Structure 1
Amino acid sequence: MAEVTRTHVIEDLQVGSRVVVRHRLPDGAASDALGDLVAADDTTLRVATRRGEVTLARADVLAAKAVPPPPARKGPPHTAIGTDDLERVMAEHWRPLERLDLGGWRLRASEGFTGRANSALAVGDPGVPDAVERVERFYVERGLPAVVAVAHPADGLGEGDPLVDDLTARGWTVRTPTVVMTAATDDLPAAREVALPDGLHVETRPEPDDAWLAQYHYQGAPTVPAAGRRILVSADEQVFLRILDGTETVAIARGSLSPGWAGVTAVETAPSHRRRGLGRRLLAEVADWARDRGAASTYLQVQADNSGARALYGGTGFTVHHGYHYRVAPSA
């Protein structure tokens, strides 16, 4: 049975990610191993390919990079990707301070900052019959509520799924039903197509400055803790945008990157500047940034009951891919 194991990192590749590794063969020719990176140490890499697991000597590796997941169905990449694979992609854009793997599940903890970084991502098989109990122990040991993130079709809350039904029977309550929306990056508007009101301009930075952080209010929190600052810069690459009215920051967004994918998070507009097209301009700015980096697809997440935001995103080219929500264990 699978045990909880720590995530290992080989240079900028993470165990569990899909990779292509070009390596030297005994006759001097080169070949590619495409699959999931299952293990890495100082001398070897192990890659699970379609033909079985292969062990490669690091001395024979010519190049290695992470690649997007394979399509689960026909269609463009942003719709062809499967739900579990897209959940794994999104997890790489918002990495926790601590992660332990339980089979295919990811147990994440980050001092309580955001649900994404403090929940067990329940995708794949945990490999053990007592997975829920292990999740509970993991969070109790860290002084955090036990939370499971459950992905499901956009309609409903995953009723009929064995895990959902089990958590319901245990009394785990629903929190923050959310819709995941995706788009082909090339179909999104460019910044030059979305004019700003007179007197406003855009600034971008690779890290959030104090003015950006002051405008970011995750679920009403007045300040971003140190844990949050680390999570915000946890992706392979990210960009922080703000729209200024003179010297005042009136809207912000964060773009992030993983192989083949861009993500849009932390979109906020000051109440005084809403309904002026600032959100649409921020999306266009992220799209330009993503196109420059070769990200074919873009995703975002929006609370299911936020009809205004869903209309905005739908109007720029995003469509619903799937839904997810959190299940929270009963208080002790």
Structure 2
Amino acid sequence: MPGDFSSGARLEIRVTPADVGKRVSVRQLAELADGHPTFTDTVGVLASWDAGVVCVTRRTGETVRIPEKLLVAGKVVPAAPVRRGIAVPAVTAEELAAIASRSWPATETSPLGGWTLRAAGGFTRRANSVLVGGAPDRPVDEALAYVRRWYGERGLTPYLQVPDTSPFVPALDERGWIREADTLMRTAPLAPLTSLPGGDDVTLSRTPDAAWTAAYHRTGELAGAALKVLSGGPSVWFASAPGVIGRVAVDGAWALFGAVEVAPEMRRRGLARSVMGALARRAYAEGAVAAHLQVEADNVAARALYDRLGFLDHSGYHYRRPAA
């Protein structure tokens, strides 16, 4: 057993901050009872080791915080075996949108009842729109007026991200808020993606380097704001190989894939699949079991790729903005 530290074996701490991102088994001192120590074992991904605190994320998504002074043993252990046949967890459209929002986080948020106002210097509509979940804490007209003011103060267009099944769709139609950028949320079991071929030349890192950022077409003049959003999220990894990049953010059982881009001259060589596979293996090692992503409904090429990878439509959303 990876977490078994035999009572007859010498307890050693064979993990260091350099092992962040690896799967580890650690033992901590729990308490002393009548002069006898009791211990607790934790197996998971070493998420961080900073300021005297060791954080290990279990497969369930729970993060265990261990004071360094209580650590009595630790070692790097092999990645967990891939388990086939695990179903995608059942979540509502609003729940999946909230998971995705945490993995593509705005730099500024403000609650409005069941709505969440998000801003990130204008980098992507997703991070600069109202996440419409439940009901706002005031009548709809007052809520929309507040949204206009809040985004106007930041020099941003007041966008709403609205589930297609939201009860507020008729009200927005009546008030002339323009619908655009219909988007699909798609999900798939993660385990099959870990078997995608290739990936030997894919480099994974915690931060995007200059080459990765230059290859990402959405960055443009918003490089500063983009870096904050791209690097935000519970556990983010960036992938790069000649002619292709990608990103995954792991949040418990869920892994959000995005920013998969292939240089025009390198397309139709399986590079996107190679990067997806490398990111999937990294996400699976951290305990994720389900993949999700967002793709605009009219992006036929991307939808065809994700069809071949086993993604199915979960739900849809679109954006709204005032006519004037």
Q: Tell me the TM-score normalized by structure 2.
A: 0.70
Q: Return the alpha-carbon distance in structure 2 between the equivalents of residues 215 and 223 of structure 1.
A: 13
Q: Return the alpha-carbon distance in structure 2 between the equivalents of residues 78 and 148 of structure 1.
A: 27
The worse-fitting range, judged by mean Cα deviation, of 107-116 and 126-135 is 126-135
User: Aligned AA for 1:229?
Assistant: L
Residue of structure 2 equivalent to 1:195: 198
Higher Cα Rg: structure 1 or 2? 2
Q: Return the alpha-carbon distance in structure 2 between the equivalents of residues 64 and 228 of structure 1.
A: 26
Q: Does 1:85 align with 2:95?
A: yes
The within-5 A match list for 1:230-269 is 230-244=228-242, 250-269=243-262
Deviation at 1:140, TM superposition (A): 1.3
Q: Flag the 1:66–1:103 CA change in 2: closer, same or farther, 3 A.
A: farther
Q: Flag the 1:228–1:102 CA change in 2: closer, same or farther, 3 A.
A: same
SS state of the match for residue 84, structure 1?
A: helix
SS state of the match for residue 88, structure 2?
A: helix
User: Aligned AA for 1:327?
Assistant: R
**Unpaired stretches in structure 1, ≥5 consecutive residues:** 1-62, 69-74, 153-157, 245-249
Residue of structure 2 equivalent to 1:226: 224
Instruction: Give 4+ residue runs of structure 1 displaced > 3 Å after superposition.
Output: 63-68, 221-224
Aligned residues: 244
**Unpaired stretches in structure 2, ≥5 consecutive residues:** 1-55, 62-84
Deviation at 1:102, TM superposition (A): 0.9
The within-5 A match list for 1:110-189 is 110-129=120-139, 130-152=142-164, 158=165, 161-189=166-194
Residue of structure 1 equivalent to 2:32: none
Q: Return the alpha-carbon distance in structure 1 between the equivalents of residues 319 and 290 of structure 2.
A: 25
Determine if contact 2:194/2:284 at 8 Å carries over to the other structure: no
What is the aligned-residue RMSD (CA, Å)? 2.3
Q: Return the alpha-carbon distance in structure 1 between the equivalents of residues 300 and 315 of structure 2.
A: 16
Q: Tell me the TM-score normalized by structure 1.
A: 0.69
C-alpha deviations, 1:44-102, integer Å up to 9, x for none? xxxxxxxxxxxxxxxxxxx999977xxxxxx9653511111111111100111100011
Deviation at 1:201, TM superposition (A): 2.1
Identity %: 37
Q: Flag the 1:274–1:173 CA change in 2: closer, same or farther, 3 A.
A: same
User: Aligned AA for 1:194?
Assistant: P
SS state of the match for residue 132, structure 1?
A: helix
Q: Return the alpha-carbon distance in structure 1 between the equivalents of residues 118 and 58 of structure 2.
A: 24
